[in-house]
Structure 1
Amino acid sequence: MSPTSMPGADDVIRRLQMLEMIVEKTSNMVVVTDEERRITWVNTAYTRVTGWALEECRGRRPSELLHGPLTSARALSKLASLLREPQAVRDFELLNYKRTGEPYWVSLSIEPIVDAAGTLTSYVSIQTDITERKQRELQTADLQHRLELAQRLARLGRIEHDTETGHSRWTSEIFRILGRERDEVSRGAQAFMDHAHPMDREALQASLAAALRTGDEIDVEFRVLSASGAHRWVRCRGVPHPGEAGFGLPLTLSVQDVTLYKTLIEQRHRRNEDLNQQVQVRTRQLEEAYGSLEEFSYALSHDLRTPLRHIAGFAELLKEEVAAGEVQGSLLYCDKIVRAAVQMRNLIDGMLSFARLGRKGMKVEPVDMAALVDDIVAALAIDGGLKKYRWRIQPGLPTVQGDPVLLREVWTNLLDNAVKYSSHREVIEIEVGWRDLPEGTEFHVRDNGLGFDPEQASRLFGMFQRLHRDPRFEGAGIGLALVRRIVEYHGGRIWADSVPDQGATFHVFLPSQPAPAELEDAPQGEAEPMPARGG
């Protein structure tokens, strides 16, 4: 450079004064240190922020004045490494302390100064106070942490999409719902929807398509499959994002884990179902108790009056015979009184058997129907004396699950009924058969007896109901009512069909696994099961 092009001394002084004025007037802190990083000069802004004047700083290192308990040792180590290069440092953030002990944040830009020979002579550091910005960032981070904590407690996650960067982000709760480790891979709403349970995908796609057509808020519930294969219920809500080609998936989609809610709803539903069943059972019990009360009231007011009336009437006649000294006539009336008493005793015994059945527990075990029927048939043959029987028993009567004592009562009443109402025939013909059904076994007993009028059959399964008043056929009208009660107690059903004077067939269905039913009166007016004739 020629001497004429060299700036004059006055010009240099003017430029230095201008530079000093700029440095003094700037709001940034300026620090100059020597090659050993000892302070040689600081500007007014530095003194104003830190509280340290130039005279107090000169010859001391910044670390002696500004570093405190929370200054990052890792950051200091990194800064020292950069300065040893030496190389420029740009926007290096560090927590420092003022003279008063108050912490503040600075952004450092440090420029190493070398002479013409390339030897390091000093450092110039420009420091910007970024305390307010860092406080806002810390507050934002704290609010973000609190929000994520609240969302985790509420099992609520978010899927966010940044239109400027094109980056999508799942919050930590989304990863928890799916049972996956958190990462920073860009994933959007569609990637989450792809985890929908296969059985829910069609309905989900239909709901999304409808919302994207109209722009209405998306509010859908569906199951998602986690990494372990388990499924969880989620509720997704968001507003479709308008674009040039229509509406797209929301930029922010909330995802709430509602598995617990769904579980509680299901539990409540099951409890309500159980309560409804209990109410129905209790209602049937009360109806059955009321029906039994009516039956017993009828029995006490009518059926038991008859033998009592006979006893009272014959006793009066006996009294007259005794007074007249007629021994032979007295014996006749005594026999009639005994028969009336026996009839009343049988009625009472039948009533007690019928009533106690509803209170007895059922002992379920395998019951060999073939052995049971053979035993009862043998007993009936002995009791029948000189009567002629023709038994046709289908081979292979199966073993069923039930109460052996109660099922014996069923067969005894059915077979005894068949014998009784066929006793006027020259040959009593009785058939016992069975067939397998998907739900259980159906048995039948067919006779060649008196039969009954199907139009009157609805009366026969009630207590003390008898269609036949023929004195040849004794009975109290209890047997078939007891049979019906036992069969229904096993969860089965009984019905019958007949043509008058051509015999009757009784059908009994027993389920494979008896489910004891609450005893109740059979519904009337149905084609099947049909009630049978009285015992």
Structure 2
Amino acid sequence: VGWAITDQIARQRGKAAEKELVVMSERLATIVKTSPIAIVTIDLNYNVTGWNEAAEKIFGWKESEVIGKPLPYVDENHREAHRKMNEETLKGWPVRGARFVRHRKDGKEVVVKVYNAPIRDEKGNLAGLFGILEDVTEQNKMELALNESELLFRQLYVNMNVGVAIYRVVNDGDDVVFLDMNPAGCRITGVNREEILGRSVRAIFPGVTDLGLYDRILDVWKSGYSQHHPVKEYHDGRLTFWAENFIYRHKADEIVVVFEDVTEREMTLEELERRVVRRTEELEEANRELESFAYSVSHDLKAPLRAIRGFSKIVSDRYSSLLPEEGSRYLGFIVKAGEDMSELITGLLEYSRVGKAVLRREVVSLQDLVSDCISTLESRIVEEEAEVKVLSDLPDVYADRSLLRRALTNLLQNSLTYHKSGEHLVIKVYSDEQNGFVNLTVEDNGIGIESKFHERIFNIFQRLHTGDEYPGTGIGLAIVKKSVALMGGDVSLESEPGKGARFTIKIKGASS
């Protein structure tokens, strides 16, 4: 009876074990089937005996297309190498993570990471092989790109002409030591890379503290914000050069300093600055001498010229009737030449005086200033039978009242001079404001000016017509340009022959 009971219990336990084994087998089959990684099994003839869903997805062949057949993703060129790999696996040398390039059903390449091992039956005999294949195509692409990027960076780091030093901050900011320096940095500073690695930057370059760069490195380490250390001269007992530094934090305790040797540039700039200062002084002295000469000559010519004009007029008044016609005509030439010379000297004196007085900028009412200039020229306006129109309310400007009055008066005189004979002269004055500046315009319907002369007419003594055609000295517009330039403004011209002229003075507005 005991034996019977024991046998019954054993059979019950055996059935339970078989049932549990079936459940575990089904569970394992489900795991293999639904695994995201390809699992493939082959027999000893290298024909497929197992092909899960992931294998279908990676390689494109369905299970029904591959069972009982050689592996489809191993092409003719790779079969011999694949056979040798399988033989080594069966001998006990399995593959652990090697990468291979295989082909999908559609012909596209796929990179797989392979793990394989032999399969043995219940007696321990070899029955085949199984392989786990992970699709690492995208990972492989990224790694290749990363390797290329690292190679490019390394080539740039080694071959660039700018110095790069990499430091590590140690002992909680107590010191900064060298991790690396590129060849250009070693060349600039005259050090050997192997000799400085791991050593304190203050020991290698003692002048770095006085330069202020050491404190900047620590500031960047603490804050994490990049900084620019401007061009300064580094010097110690061994080395002197000018450098510009850019500092940024690479890791929590690593600092990168990119620096450039600008010694030659700074020396060139210093020499240029010295030359500019010297040349400016020479030009200023020449201008002072020229203005003094012009003033002296003009002033000294006035006395003899007054005598010539005075005696010429006396001769004309008293003795013109006694002179023959040709003599009277010649005397008239003398009187006219004296008047022209007097006008020229007056203009030259005025030009030489422009800028001699201290510049006094203040808020000036353009409305009042224009009215004042028109009143001053009233007799001339009546004489030319001209009409001056102020088309809009004029704003206030920030200028030197005397200089601006002189410029505006000369523009109005210019319009009163160069007008068409027999045509009613109309002069318009108006303004507009742009970006803090006032554009004051004097426009006329006179004879106009060709575009090729628009710049030339602002030069002193430049005239486009003879004195017989239009009176003048060629100084008025030069005075306009000089006066406006002294106030930081500008003057421009728009004109065409026969269509009048539009002169515009650009001057700072009072509101700015």
Same fold (TM over 0.5): no
> Which has the higher Rg, Structure 1 or Structure 2?
1
Report the TM range for the smaller structure's normalisation.
0.3 to 0.5
Give the TM-score normalised by structure 1: 0.42
Given the two structures, how large is their TM-score scaled by the length of structure 2?
Answer: 0.43
Task: Point out the structure with the larger helix share.
Answer: 2
